[in-house]
């Protein structure tokens, strides 16, 4: 046990975290961790390990890249998950655990890949051939989280349970992907059962260098188009559209038009239901949609 703890300390030091955390800090969030883990079907020991290696239990932590809070979520990821205040420990933790659950679904529960995707982004895992990317930081991070998880499991953290079923005011149909000529179309529709008129926000996060063009159409008068620069950086871009005055029971639609991706790609799609004043998120939906590379899986585009 002591040898494992020493190894974990070295990994944390290499990853940039302080060691050891104060005993009070290491246990102060246990009730929140347990509740979020049960709610989203994620192992509590994994959640605690991610917090330990990300922020060392500091809810005010900010990384050099701008990741914030207990689970060190970047602003674009915060937006997709509907997180309004990254320094609200309970809200940050719940959003981070929801993201872990989404990554676990995407990578079929392969823990090293899930942890690597949390650190480097899911696209980096795909680009590495569904393996842990060869980035030194990510390699250290995965080792840190896996070692911390083992320690917390030995200390008696419960295993993952099935996610608690919770009725949602938001219903989203599974996305439909269609190739037509030289365009790839993704169709999505949603309705809500909230008591009052709401406001919908639709977001798409994608690697900009994978597409020459992306258009997000959410209403008759709203289409957001993004043309990639000639030498697009290997970075993510966030497109946002809106459904205003969204009546209960009313079906709204979103249409994505894209050029077929240059490589195997993940699209992160989110739908958020706000109250009419946009002061509070009432329901959330999110998915990671895989698209194969155009040259391998799509038919040749029509001339």
Task: Say if residues 233 and 260 touch (Cβ distance below 8 Å).
Answer: no
291 and 230 co-located in one domain: yes
76 and 210 co-located in one domain: no
50 and 94 co-located in one domain: yes
What is the number of domains present in the chain? 2
**How many residues comprise the chain?**
303
| CB-based contacts of 81, cutoff 8 Å, min separation 6 | 73, 95, 98, 99, 270, 284, 286
CATH of the domain at 275: 2.60.40.1530
Q: What pLDDT does 129 receive?
A: 94
54 is catalytic: yes
Q: What pLDDT does 12 receive?
A: 52
Strands (E), the chain: 170-172, 176-180, 183-192, 198-207, 213-219, 222-227, 236-246, 252-258, 265-275, 281-291
107 and 181 co-located in one domain: no
Q: What pLDDT does 182 receive?
A: 82
Q: What pLDDT does 298 receive?
A: 53
Q: What pLDDT does 165 receive?
A: 58
Residue 159 lies in a domain: no
133 and 16 co-located in one domain: yes
287 and 177 co-located in one domain: yes
Bond preceding residue 20 cis, omega within 30 of 0: yes
CA dihedral 271, 275, 279, 281 (to 10 degrees): -40
Q: What pLDDT does 250 receive?
A: 96
Q: What pLDDT does 22 receive?
A: 58
128 and 205 co-located in one domain: no
Q: Is 146 helix (H, G, I), strand (E, B) or coil?
A: helix
**Maximum CA extent, the chain:** 66
240 and 194 co-located in one domain: yes
Tens place of pLDDT per residue across the chain (303 aa): 444 444 455 455 445 454 456 566 778 999 999 999 999 999 999 999 999 999 999 999 999 999 999 999 999 999 999 999 999 999 999 999 999 999 999 999 999 999 999 999 999 999 999 999 999 999 999 999 999 999 999 988 777 766 665 678 999 999 999 987 788 999 999 999 999 999 999 999 999 889 999 999 998 668 888 887 766 566 889 999 999 999 999 999 999 999 999 899 999 999 999 999 999 999 999 999 999 887 655 544 433
Q: What pLDDT does 30 receive?
A: 95
Single out the residue of 219, 286, 299, 227 nearest to residue 258, CA to CA.
227
142 and 51 co-located in one domain: yes
Domain containing 121: what range? 2-154
CATH of the domain at 141: 1.10.530.10
CA angle 290, 76, 285 (to 5 degrees): 55
Task: Say if residues 14 and 140 touch (Cβ distance below 8 Å).
Answer: yes
Residue 137 lies in a domain: yes
**The pair of three-digit structure tokens given for residue 302, joined into one six-digit string:** 């029509």
CA distance 9 to 180: 54
Q: Single out the catalytic residue among 54, 155, 208, 222.
A: 54
Q: Name the pTM for this structure.
A: 0.84
195 and 231 co-located in one domain: yes
Single out the residue of 80, 279, 284 nearest to residue 192, CA to CA.
284
């Amino acid at each position: 046990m002591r040898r494992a703890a020493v190894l974990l300390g070295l990994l944390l030091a290499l990853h940039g975290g302080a060691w050891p955390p104060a005993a009070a800090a290491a246990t102060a969030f246990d009730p929140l961790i347990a509740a979020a883990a049960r709610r989203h079907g994620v192992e509590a020991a994994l959640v605690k390990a991610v917090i330990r290696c990300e922020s060392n239990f500091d809810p005010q932590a900010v990384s050099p890249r701008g990741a914030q809070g207990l689970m060190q979520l970047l602003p674009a990821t915060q937006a997709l998950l509907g997180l309004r205040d990254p320094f609200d420990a309970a809200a940050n933790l719940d959003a981070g655990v929801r993201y872990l659950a989404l990554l676990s679904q995407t990578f079929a529960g392969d823990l090293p890949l899930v942890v690597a995707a949390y650190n480097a982004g899911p696209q980096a895992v795909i680009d590495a051939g569904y393996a842990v990317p060869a980035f030194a930081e990510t390699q250290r991070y995965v080792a840190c989280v896996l070692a911390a998880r083992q320690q917390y499991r030995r200390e008696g953290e419960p295993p993952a349970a099935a996610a608690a079923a919770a009725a949602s005011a938001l219903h989203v149909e599974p996305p439909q992907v269609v190739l037509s000529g030289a365009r790839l179309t993704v169709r999505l529709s949603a309705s809500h059962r909230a008591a009052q008129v709401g406001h919908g926000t639709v977001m798409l996060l994608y690697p900009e260098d994978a597409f020459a063009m992306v258009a997000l159409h959410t209403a008759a008068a709203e289409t957001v188009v993004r043309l990639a620069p000639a030498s697009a950086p290997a970075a993510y871009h966030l497109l946002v559209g809106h459904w205003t005055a969204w009546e209960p029971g009313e079906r709204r639609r979103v249409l994505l038009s894209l050029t077929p991706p240059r490589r195997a790609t993940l699209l992160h799609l989110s739908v958020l239901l706000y109250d009419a004043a946009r002061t509070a998120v009432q329901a959330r939906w999110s998915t990671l949609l895989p698209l194969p590379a155009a040259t391998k899986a799509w038919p040749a585009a029509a001339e």
